[in-house]
Amino acid sequence: MAWQWQLTLRQGAASLLAASIMLSACAPARTGAPGGPSVAPPFDPTQTQITGPLPGEARQLTGTGSSFAYLIVAKWSDDYYDLTDVAVNYQSTGSGAGIRAISDQTVDFAGTDSPMTDEQLRAAEGGEVLHIPVALGAVVPIYNVPEVGDTALKFSGETLAGIFLGRITRWNDRSIAADNPGVDLPNQNIVAVHRSDGSGTTFIWADYLSSVSPEWKAKVGAANAVDWPVGIGAPQNAGVAGEVSQRKYAIGYVEFIYAKANNIAYGKVKNQAGTFIEASLDTITAAAKDTESFSPDLRVSIVNPPDAGAYPIAGFTWQLVYVKQQNKAVALALTRWLWYEVTAGQQAAASIGYAPLPEDVQAAAQAMIKRITIDGQQAFPGS
């Protein structure tokens, strides 16, 4: 099984996800309750919750892409198999690989943390692609400055951009000192650490820096992989965290859930309202509250939002699916899987560190799922 994202989890997350990590093509061999999945009551098309198996649906779905979303998709797929006897084989290959796979029609769905471009949408072989948001995540700055102890350093967006542009080179630079009065900042060189692989984590980080720094936007921009002006590259969250932990005076960025699961200290970031905000489930969800400004296709950036309580480096993770499905059994299973993710699955998301979708975003995602068709008819079997 090609699992490309390896992660050391601590505390309860390890036991919670141990079975999920192994769920792939071999999943049909396992059972939920003793004796196999329970028999579901007859399907009620007016229901809005998935309650059990459905006759006629495919028993396996394949997906690939976002490593950012891997932990929650693994959790969902494990729970969903127990509920429906449908095995979801999702491989963590990165957002770029997910976009390529859905474009080439080699998977049933793909995960991404960076929206497809107009050009990529036009090139997709199966027609119109939907971006269905399924969870919220965030990216946090991590650092190794022994002199500050357990103090959570504060960073403005302009300061972070200056560091990763190579303009701010010392930890006692006046821009860092101004945001951290009374903190013993050493006169030491800053070592910037970034992802060496293409990733949605980098996209969210670079998208945020582009939103707060005209210089960053002009010189670097936002993408899954960018040309870094300075710094050391390392693969995956584990690589960045490893480099930062081993190098005194280093700074890097990782996913919030990775930092939480591995007890990595991270800083607060100044939001658009001028408040230094710590990443949390509530502050990440708050970043998605400004739905009036969202485009109808939900290919939206939510970095640096205006909400005073919002953490500013947040983003959606989407599932990419074709509107027009070609196989009825797959269409039934796929739409029910997606529906589960944006309804009952949201509670599980919160339990392992992903911020749940606001209710209006959940409603918009459900409306998208109902747009998926098979033979010109709505594929989702509910009302």
Other C-beta atoms lying within 10 Å of the C-beta of residue 152: 13
Out of 25-39, 224-238, 255-269, least confident range: 25-39
List the domains of the chain with CATH numbers.
Answer: 12-28+43-137+314-378 (3.40.190.10), 138-289 (3.40.190.10)
pLDDT of 11 over the 90 cut: no
The predicted-structure confidence for 284-306, as pLDDT tens digits, reads as follows 999 998 777 788 999 999 999 99
pLDDT of 6 over the 90 cut: no
The predicted-structure confidence for 171-202, as pLDDT tens digits, reads as follows 999 999 999 999 999 999 999 999 998 888 99
The Cα–Cα gap between 5 and 2 comes to 9
pLDDT bin (cut points 50, 70, 90) of residue 12 is: very low
Out of 2-16, 332-346, 361-375, least confident range: 2-16
pTM of the model: 0.82
Structure confidence at residue 67 (pLDDT): 85
Task: Reduce the secondary structure of the chain to three states and give it as a string.
Answer: CCCCCCCCCCCHHHHHHHHHHCCCCCHHHCCCCCCCCCCCCCCCCCCCCCCCCCCCCCCEEEEEECCCCHHHHHHHHHHHHHHHCCEEEEEECCHHHHHHHHHCCCCCEEEECCCCCHHHHHHCCCCCEEEEEEEEEEEEEEECCHHHCCCCCEECHHHHHHHHHCCCCECCCHHHHHHCCCCCCCCCECEEEEECCCCHHHHHHHHHHHHHCHHHHHHCCCCCCCCCCCCEEECHHHHHHHHHHHCCCEEEEEEHHHHHHCCCCECEEECCCCCEECCCHHHHHHCCCCHHHCCCCCCCCCCCCCCCCCCCCEEEEEEEEECEECCHHHHHHHHHHHHHHHCCHHHHHHHCCCECCCHHHHHHHHHHHCCCEECCEECCCCC
Q: Which residue has the tokens 């542009």?
A: 165
User: Which residue has better confidence, 86 or 351?
Assistant: 86
Residues 6 or more apart in contact with residue 37 via CB below 8 angstroms:
31, 52, 53, 82, 83, 84, 85
Mean pLDDT of 58-76: 94
Structure confidence at residue 48 (pLDDT): 66
The predicted-structure confidence for 82-120, as pLDDT tens digits, reads as follows 999 999 999 998 888 999 999 999 999 999 999 999 999
pLDDT of 38 over the 90 cut: no
At position 82, the amino acid (one-letter code) is: D
Lookup: tokens for 158:
């302009």
Lookup: tokens for 296:
């109808």
